[in-house]
Structure 1
Amino acid sequence: MKFIHTSDWHIGRQLHNQSLLDDQRHVLAQIIELAKAHQVDAIVVAGDIYDRSVPPANAVALLDDVLNQVVNELGIPAILIAGNHDGHERLAFASRQMLSSGLHIIGPLSDTVRPIKLTSASGDALFYPLPYVEPATVGHVLDCDVSSHEEAMATLLEQVTEHDSQGLPKVVISHCFLDGGSESDSERPLSIGGADKIAPQLFNDFSYTALGHLHGPQYKGQPYIRYSGSILKYSFSEQHQHKSVTLVELDEVGEVNIELLPLTPLRDVRIIEGELAQLLADGVNDPQRDDYLMVRLSDKSAILDAMGKLRTVYPNVLHLERTGLMAQTEQLAIRSDHIKKGELAMFTDFFSQVAGEPMSEEQQQLMAELLDSLHKAEDCQ
């Protein structure tokens, strides 16, 4: 059994108000070509198909086109589960009617984890789809008492463990946050305070676990407990990540072979920094000047329309930071503190000369507060 594991498509996503639909169409076409080239038996998408629960019409149209090519034109079964960004009921619309075509979409959680048996010339396997759900939902649907994501996942996995696969490999598909996973800025937290973290050891007994949610390709605990990562860089914190899909091959006894298949974006997501004049000169001959860029300018002087000047060379500058001015502001704040301390010291000396005795602690505190309020008033003017 050979399949592609991918996740976190986030169709309809924007990066700093820039639509990424064309970029997503570009890499999704690559996934289709990789599925053809490697003659896979299935494509698994482990959640966050869309970027929000009510996706825009053009995002729905893109997903419809991709699934039509995969399932109808290539005849490759596809399994999709809902992630925390997806609207579970909307994603699962007409899913029962599409089963006969080979398209398996699992939206809302049901009281029984229903395995999907896929067959191939090289061997069969059972896939257990576990869409993202809050612990309270698991407790309600399964009529049990769970209070954390880990307890909820353990309860669901009991059904997978107890199910008789008749010797076939078991593949779990889940959208969750494993403890120790490497995060980025573009992932929406599942809960506050670490209560969303799940021990990787819960998945040790399965042949492969196809995970979604974390955007960097990685595995936790065992190499077969794996995040495929997102198909694009969805924040500048991901600039050093290498995006890919995971090619998984299982033999009859569940031994797994894993290969990362790289994806090439239409435009990269990068951070560049330096002085404006140098960046503009470098950009003239930069073959990647159409990339989505965050620019950090080190110039310490004011610049009129810095963004406009940058976009004459780099048309897709999405965010600008004036790190040079920020550093200068910090130095000014430090000098201001020194001046405040000097003023208090000078007045303390003046007071002792005039009064013939040093200032009391209460008088020094009152004077310090007065000086502080005067400086704040100056800052507001």
Structure 2
Amino acid sequence: MRILHTSDWHLGRTLHQVDLIEHQAAFLDHLVEVVREEQVGAVVVAGDVYDRAIPPVEAVRLLGDALARLSELTQVVLTPGNHDSATRLGFGAELMRDTLHVRARVADVGRPVELHGEDGALLVYALPYLDPDDARHHLAEDPAEPLARSHEAVLSAAMRRISADLAQRRAGGGPRVPAVVAAHAFVTGGEVSESERDIRVGGVDSVPSGVFRGVDYVALGHLHGAQSVPIATLDGAEGSGVGRTVARYSGSPLAYSFSEMNHTKSTVLLDVGPDGVRGEPQLIPAPVPRRMGDVTGTLEEILGAAGEKHVDRWVRVTVTDPVRPADLHARVRARLPHALSITYAPPAREGSERAGVVTAAADPLEVCASFVDHVRGSAPSAAEQRVLRDVLEHVNAAERSA
């Protein structure tokens, strides 16, 4: 069966206050055309469909239209990520058409979506984002003894359920049925961007790739850069075929931060059969609404040759004149109308220190600890760091349940 793997649509997101809904709609139009042209048997969406738990009306309408068009052409399996509200995204799942499957409940972990095509069957084990604080109770074998409070513990428990179900289904003989896992997680070794929401629990945000060993393909979501994740094979299997687990992040369809300006946005197209993943997955480039750029220099340089190639780009501008130029923002935008970020950063004076830049990719605990050190003149103690971590995780949990 031919599969198209995508994730991290973040419908409703903006880029430095620029509304992206029109560009997200263009991507979904592109996705429908790829499904039609490539005769895709199943689309797997691995989380973060919306950008927040309560999405804007335009994003809800856009998703409804896209799923209606996709499910007329193929089978769709969709699951929530850490940005989505699983309850809201999963509402009405039982009422949807046979070609649209939304898996949003922890209770369904280990129960696959059974897909059927002209070339055979496929099992898709779609995992919603597993918040350790909640899933450690639901996935424990004994409810009185919850799992360890970590992403590794809950995903390992989910994979044990999947492995048991898969072994039972394959024990009866007959053609081997291929298996795909869709998961929204930060797998060790993945390359992060500045636009992914922090999912640290207990100071740890990643899971080892070996957790997913044993299935044919792992459709990952969460990281915004398209990339493969190496997973050791079973029983010494090499190359392609049975025993090989292929895992990939499809990445986001649009750049959601300047750290992604050099990404090639794409979806993943692959063929899976009884012998596993056939060949290597193919990356289908996504449409680029506007290229991104980064320019640093004096205002004269930026208004001159240095800014020439950035006129039609979303650009981040850093102005380095020793003295702040008059009408800085107006003059930059007259030259670069799509400038999204304009920063004045004069050269550091001898003997002075420049404050570090805090981005969305920074560890929030380290930022808080640095602030305490700056204000008080001493770093927080171990006990104070535990208090800071507890507060940060409480805030993150409140955002997810909003």
Contact 1:23 1:267 in 2 (8 A): no
Cα distance in 1 between the residues matched to 2:21 and 2:325: 33
Deviation at 1:280, TM superposition (A): 2.6
Query: Quick check: 1:179–1:198 contact (8 Å CA) kept in 2?
Result: yes
2:90 maps to which residue?
A: 92
1:260 matched to 2:283: yes
Q: Conserved in 2, the CA contact under 8 Å of 1:111 and 1:142?
A: no
Task: Determine whether 1:308 maps to 2:330.
Answer: yes
Shift of 1:300: 2.3
How far apart are residue 234 of structure 1 and its match? 0.7
Give the aligned residue type for 1:92: G
Question: What does 1:1-381 correspond to in 2, within 5 Å?
Answer: 1-72=1-72, 75-100=73-98, 102-110=99-107, 112-144=109-141, 145-147=146-148, 148-163=150-165, 164-166=168-170, 167-192=176-201, 194-222=203-231, 224-257=246-279, 258-282=281-305, 286=309, 289-323=311-345, 325=346, 327-328=347-348, 330-331=349-350, 333=352
TM-score (structure 2 length as normaliser) = 0.77
User: Following the alignment from structure 1 to structure 2, what is the Cα–Cα distance between the partners of residues 33 and 111?
Assistant: 31
Q: Distance in 2 between matches of 1:302 and 1:115?
A: 60
Work out the CA distance in 1 between the residues paired with 2:118 and 2:106. Answer: 31
Please give the per-residue CA displacement for 1:112-131, whole angstroms capped at 9, x wherever unaligned: 52211112223321000110
Which letter does structure 1 place at the counterpart of 2:3? F
C-alpha change, 1:69 and 1:273, in structure 2 (3 Å) is: same
C-alpha displacement of 1:315: 1.8
TM norm structure 1: 0.81
The structural deviation recorded for 1:277 is 2.7
1:317-361 per-position Cα deviation (integer Å, ceiling 9, x unaligned): 1111223x1x24x43637xxxxxxxxxxxxxxxxxxxxxxxxxxx
CA distance in 2: counterparts of 1:34 and 1:282, whole angstroms: 39
> What is the CA-CA distance between 1:202 and the residue it aligns to?
1.3
The CA distance in 1 between the partners of 2:43 and 2:277, in whole Å, is 19
Counterparts of 2:48 and 2:284, CA distance in 1: 20
1:137 CA drift (Å): 1.8
- Cα distance in 2, alignment partners of residues 260 and 123 from structure 1: 24
Aligned residues: 327
Contact 1:125/1:169 (<8 A) preserved: yes
Query: Closer, same or farther in 2 for the Cα pair 1:53/1:109, shift >3 Å?
Result: same
Kindly indicate which of the two structures has a greater share of residues assigned to helix.
1
Kindly provide the amino acid, as one letter, of the partner of residue 311 in structure 2: R
Question: Are the counterparts in 1 of residues 177 and 273 from structure 2 also a CA contact under 8 Å?
Answer: no
Q: Secondary structure at the match of 2:219?
A: strand
- Contact 1:283–1:289, Cα closer than 8 Å, also in 2: no
2:8–2:253 CA contact under 8 A, matched in 1: yes
- What is the Cα-based RMSD across aligned positions, in Å? 1.9
Q: For the residues of structure 1 that align with 2:25 and 2:306, how far apart are their CA atoms?
A: 27
Contact 1:30–1:263 (8 Å) recurs in 2: yes
Contact 2:12 2:51 in 1 (8 A): yes
| CA displacement at 1:303 relative to structure 2 | 1.1
Percentage identity across paired residues of the two chains: 35
Is the Cα–Cα contact under 8 Å of residues 8 and 49 in structure 1 kept in the other structure? Answer: yes
1:205 is paired with a residue of what secondary structure?
coil
Are the structure 2 counterparts of residues 244 and 194 from structure 1 closer, same or farther at C-alpha, using a change threshold of 3 Å?
A: farther
- Contact 1:127–1:171 (8 Å) recurs in 2: yes
Higher-Rg structure is 1
* Runs of 4 or more above 3 Å deviation: 281-286
Per-residue CA deviation, residues 142-176 of structure 1 (Å, 9 max, x unaligned), is 34421211111111111111113432001001001
Distance 1:285 1:17 in 2: 24
More moved, 12-21 vs 48-57: 12-21
Kept in 2, the 8 Å contact 1:207–1:256? The answer is no
Return the letter of the residue paired with 1:151.
A
**Partner SS, residue 96 of structure 2:** helix
**Counterpart in 1 of 2:366?**
none
CA spacing shift, 1:69–1:244, aligned 2, 3 Å: same
Q: Deviations over 1:7-45 (max 9, x none)?
A: 000000111222211121122222222122211111111
**Structure 2 portions without partners, runs of 5+:** 171-175, 232-244, 354-402
Q: Distance in 1 between matches of 2:219 and 2:154?
A: 18
Q: Residues 283 and 97 from structure 1, CA distance in 2 versus in 1: closer, same or farther, beyond 3 angstroms?
A: farther
SS at match of 1:154: helix
